[in-house]
Amino acid sequence: MDALENRLREAAGRACAARPAFELSMDALVPILRAAIDKAPHPEQALDSLHVDDLALAAACARGNAAALAEFDARVLRSAVRAAARLDSASDFADEVAQAVRSRLFTVAEKGKAPRIAGYGGRASLESWTRAVALRSAATLRDGFKEERDGIDDRLARLATGDSAELDLIKAQLHQEFRTSFGEALASLPRRSRSVLRLHVVDGVTLDGLAVAYGVHRATVARWLASARSSLLKRTRARLSSLLELDAKEIDSLIEHARSRLDISIGKFLVSTSEEQ
């Protein structure tokens, strides 16, 4: 037995021993851990970052273990639903989201198939992974449209490949929330900052042209633009943080995504407003 296999068995043994009520054997958990790191470039390093306890919880939930399901509800689902329920202020919205998540993760669509919770792969925490599912469910419930099933199950399964996949889903489902936060942040900038951004981004006025228009040095205009962009992202981040219960890493990923196409977003918002230049 090689060193990696020994480590897999040790990790599985610790996780199973920590929660005997799950009635999950080491031999049942080892293949799940092995599959989670099998395609990683460096399996030993992947094992170090694997959420083994969460994988054990998910595996026990997939088997219908009552203790595991109770822990999932108390520790994982409650937090995920609390974040997702902020998308709607209705008093019963959180209960609807919780029910939708339970149905999605634990209902077996076809005989002989494992529930979707079995698709969790341990690269992201189970709480973070479930929060992505809850946000998707909340967006579906809030907007009142029937979920498009083609491709959704595969995307949820691929969440197990890591945090970036989860964040991609969050970005897609929270587009409106991000758009609202970005628009509010842009509107909150000082008038000169908005005007300089409009002239430069929308109207295409160069730094030299702005310097002449404002009677300042070209370097001053460059500092104004840099400061306006930085302030816009900071204000957007603050609004997102107050609106959604996402951790710092997830918020930062959204902001980095915005940073990569910032001028495009600024242009769209400024063109659509009637603000005086």
Q: What are 170-229's pLDDT values in tens digits?
A: 555 556 667 777 778 888 888 888 888 888 887 778 888 888 878 889 899 899 989 988
State pTM to two decimals: 0.55
The one-letter code for the residue type at 114 is A
* pLDDT at 144 (0 to 100): 58
pLDDT reading at 248 higher than 70: no
Given a cut of 60, whether residue 8 has pLDDT beyond it is: yes
| Of 116, 112, 146, 143, nearest in space to 132 by CA | 116
Least confident stretch, 56-65, 198-207, 247-256: 247-256
Ranked by mean pLDDT, the top range of 38-47, 67-76, 79-88, 132-141 is 67-76
Query: 86 exposed, middle or buried (CB, 10 Å; 0-12, 13-18, 19+)?
Result: middle
* Secondary-structure breakdown of the chain: helix, strand, coil percentages, each rounded to the nearest 5: 75, 0, 25
Whole-number Å distance between alpha carbons of 38 and 36 = 6
Average pLDDT in the 251-271 region? 65
For tokens 């080491």, name the residue.
26
Gyration radius of the chain's alpha carbons: 24
Rounded to whole angstroms, how far apart are CA atoms 160 and 32?
12
